[in-house]
Protein backbone atom coordinates (compact mmCIF):
# COMPACT_ATOMS: atom_id res chain seq x y z
CA UNK A 1 0.00 0.00 0.00
CA UNK A 2 1.31 3.48 -0.89
CA UNK A 3 0.10 6.53 0.98
CA UNK A 4 0.65 9.95 -0.50
CA UNK A 5 1.03 12.82 1.92
CA UNK A 6 0.55 16.44 1.03
CA UNK A 7 2.31 17.58 4.18
CA UNK A 8 5.84 18.82 3.83
CA UNK A 9 8.44 17.94 6.39
CA UNK A 10 10.37 21.04 7.30
CA UNK A 11 13.68 20.78 9.08
CA UNK A 12 15.17 24.05 10.15
CA UNK A 13 18.85 24.36 10.90
CA UNK A 14 20.07 27.82 11.74
CA UNK A 15 23.72 28.24 11.02
CA UNK A 16 25.75 30.86 12.88
CA UNK A 17 26.05 34.08 10.92
CA UNK A 18 29.44 35.62 10.11
CA UNK A 19 30.08 39.29 10.96
CA UNK A 20 32.14 41.44 8.56
CA UNK A 21 35.81 40.72 9.28
CA UNK A 22 39.10 42.21 8.07
CA UNK A 23 42.48 40.49 8.47
CA UNK A 24 45.75 42.23 7.68
CA UNK A 25 49.44 42.00 8.49
CA UNK A 26 51.88 44.58 9.74
CA UNK A 27 55.60 44.02 10.06
CA UNK A 28 55.16 42.45 13.52
CA UNK A 29 51.48 41.47 13.85
CA UNK A 30 48.42 39.92 12.28
CA UNK A 31 45.42 42.14 13.02
CA UNK A 32 41.80 40.96 12.93
CA UNK A 33 38.95 43.47 13.05
CA UNK A 34 35.36 42.29 13.46
CA UNK A 35 32.48 44.74 13.01
CA UNK A 36 29.83 43.76 15.54
CA UNK A 37 27.91 46.42 17.44
CA UNK A 38 25.79 45.90 20.53
CA UNK A 39 28.09 43.50 22.38
CA UNK A 40 29.96 43.41 25.68
CA UNK A 41 33.47 42.05 26.26
CA UNK A 42 32.08 38.97 27.99
CA UNK A 43 29.85 38.13 24.99
CA UNK A 44 32.86 37.01 22.90
CA UNK A 45 34.73 33.72 22.87
CA UNK A 46 38.11 33.79 21.11
CA UNK A 47 40.32 30.71 20.72
CA UNK A 48 43.49 29.90 18.82
CA UNK A 49 44.46 26.33 17.93
CA UNK A 50 47.61 26.22 15.85
CA UNK A 51 46.93 28.83 13.18
CA UNK A 52 43.11 28.56 13.36
CA UNK A 53 41.53 31.57 15.09
CA UNK A 54 37.88 31.18 16.07
CA UNK A 55 35.74 34.11 17.18
CA UNK A 56 32.23 33.30 18.34
CA UNK A 57 29.42 34.48 20.58
CA UNK A 58 25.79 35.44 20.64
CA UNK A 59 24.28 38.84 19.96
CA UNK A 60 21.00 39.15 21.88
CA UNK A 61 17.76 39.16 19.93
CA UNK A 62 15.81 42.38 19.71
CA UNK A 63 12.84 42.82 22.06
CA UNK A 64 9.88 40.64 21.07
CA UNK A 65 7.29 43.32 20.47
CA UNK A 66 4.82 43.15 17.62
CA UNK A 67 6.45 44.64 14.52
CA UNK A 68 5.96 44.89 10.79
CA UNK A 69 9.44 45.04 9.28
CA UNK A 70 9.94 46.87 6.00
CA UNK A 71 13.60 45.88 5.92
CA UNK A 72 15.52 43.57 8.25
CA UNK A 73 19.27 43.28 7.77
CA UNK A 74 20.73 43.35 11.29
CA UNK A 75 21.44 39.77 12.38
CA UNK A 76 21.19 38.50 15.92
CA UNK A 77 21.77 35.16 17.59
CA UNK A 78 24.83 32.96 17.35
CA UNK A 79 27.77 34.09 15.21
CA UNK A 80 31.10 32.48 14.35
CA UNK A 81 34.18 33.34 12.30
CA UNK A 82 36.96 30.81 11.63
CA UNK A 83 40.18 32.24 10.22
CA UNK A 84 43.29 30.40 9.07
CA UNK A 85 46.09 32.80 9.98
CA UNK A 86 48.91 33.23 7.46
CA UNK A 87 51.74 32.82 10.01
CA UNK A 88 52.49 31.22 13.38
CA UNK A 89 51.49 33.40 16.35
CA UNK A 90 53.20 34.06 19.70
CA UNK A 91 50.39 32.90 22.01
CA UNK A 92 51.79 34.97 24.90
CA UNK A 93 51.42 38.20 22.93
CA UNK A 94 47.75 38.40 21.91
CA UNK A 95 45.70 41.50 22.69
CA UNK A 96 41.98 42.03 22.13
CA UNK A 97 39.94 45.21 22.58
CA UNK A 98 36.22 45.77 21.96
CA UNK A 99 35.46 49.42 21.29
CA UNK A 100 32.99 51.44 19.21
CA UNK A 101 31.36 48.31 17.74
CA UNK A 102 34.63 46.70 16.63
CA UNK A 103 36.51 43.76 18.13
CA UNK A 104 40.22 44.26 17.34
CA UNK A 105 42.59 41.37 17.95
CA UNK A 106 46.32 41.96 17.54
CA UNK A 107 48.34 38.73 17.31
CA UNK A 108 52.11 39.04 17.39
CA UNK A 109 53.98 36.94 14.86
CA UNK A 110 56.22 34.22 16.32
Task: Please write the tens of the pLDDT for every residue from 46-78.
Answer: 999 999 999 999 998 877 788 888 998 999 999
Q: Is residue 69 part of a domain?
A: no
- pLDDT given at position 68: 85
Strand partners, 56: 45, 80
Range of the domain at 30: 21-61+75-109
Q: Is residue 12 part of a domain?
A: no
For the chain (110 residues), the mean pLDDT of every run of 10, in chain order, is: 57 82 98 97 96 96 81 92 98 97 98
Structural domains in the chain (count): 1
In this structure, how many other beta carbons lie within 10 angstroms of the beta carbon of residue 42? 8
Q: Is residue 38 part of a domain?
A: yes
CATH number at residue 86: 2.60.40.790
In this structure, how many other beta carbons lie within 10 angstroms of the beta carbon of residue 23? 17
* pTM assigned to the model: 0.82
- pLDDT given at position 109: 98
Amino acid sequence: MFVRSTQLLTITYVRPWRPPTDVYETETDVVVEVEIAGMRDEDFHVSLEGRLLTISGTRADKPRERRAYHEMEIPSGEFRTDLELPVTIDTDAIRAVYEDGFLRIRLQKA
